Amino acid sequence: MNEKPPLLISACLLGQPVRYDAASKPLPPERLTRLTRDYRLVPVCPECLGGLPTPRPAAEIAGGDAAAVWQGRAKVATKAGDDVTAAFRRGAREALALARAEGCAQALLKANSPSCGGARVYDGSFSGCLRPGEGVAAHWLRRHGVEVINEDQLP
């Protein structure tokens, strides 16, 4: 019997209460059943791996896109103005290390997150507005060859 391919997956999509507000965003049960049948799921929460506590203040990318965060030209900050860029970058590196250790060529990550978002992120104004862009970890994984999709792109 063939071994199932590994899939890096946002822990909050599996129901783990790791979001900034200590909630989760579980996928529908039938979706989870199908994923579990087809893949060996490797849970990851980049923000937790970066050392941030749960719960934690919400954070958004400000002053540029994820590439700019890696170039030091933009930052990730909380509404109160605390700079959490280093933790976000650390978590992204750890997520990539986990993907490599587990042999994950693909990742299914949570949409719209400043870490995990693959197509849109909040715009840094804490007003609930989304703009096109990637999260810090999604960008880092893609840049190193991991295919990233969000749950809203599942067929």
Q: How many CA atoms lie within 13 A of 17 on its CB side?
A: 5
Both tokens assigned to 26: 């579980």
Rounded Cα distance, 99 and 143, in Å: 13
Q: How far apart are CB 50 and ligand SF4 at their closest, in Å? A: 9
Scanning 57-65, 67-75, 112-120, 143-151 for contacts with ligand SF4 by CB under 6 A, the matching segment is 112-120
Residue located via tokens 């540029």: 64
Which residue's entry shows tokens 């937790």?
48
Q: Which of 7, 8, 14, 18 binds ligand SF4 (CB under 6 A)?
A: 18
- Indicate whether 89 belongs to the interface with ligand SF4 (CB under 6 A): no
x/- mask, ligand SF4, residues 44-83, rule CB under 6 A, reads: -xxx------------------------------------
Q: Going by C-beta distance under 8 Å and a sequence separation of 6 or more, which residues neighbour residue 10?
A: 43, 44, 45, 108, 109, 110, 113, 116
Say how many C-beta atoms besides its own lie within 10 A of residue 138's C-beta.
Answer: 31
Which residue in 6, 110, 121, 140 binds ligand SF4 (CB under 6 A)? 110
| Part of the chain binding ligand SF4 (CB under 6 A), chosen from 9-17, 34-42, 62-70, 118-126 | 9-17
Q: What is the DSSP letter of 26?
A: P
Residues that bind ligand SF4 (CB under 6 A): 10-12, 18-19, 45-47, 110, 113, 115-116
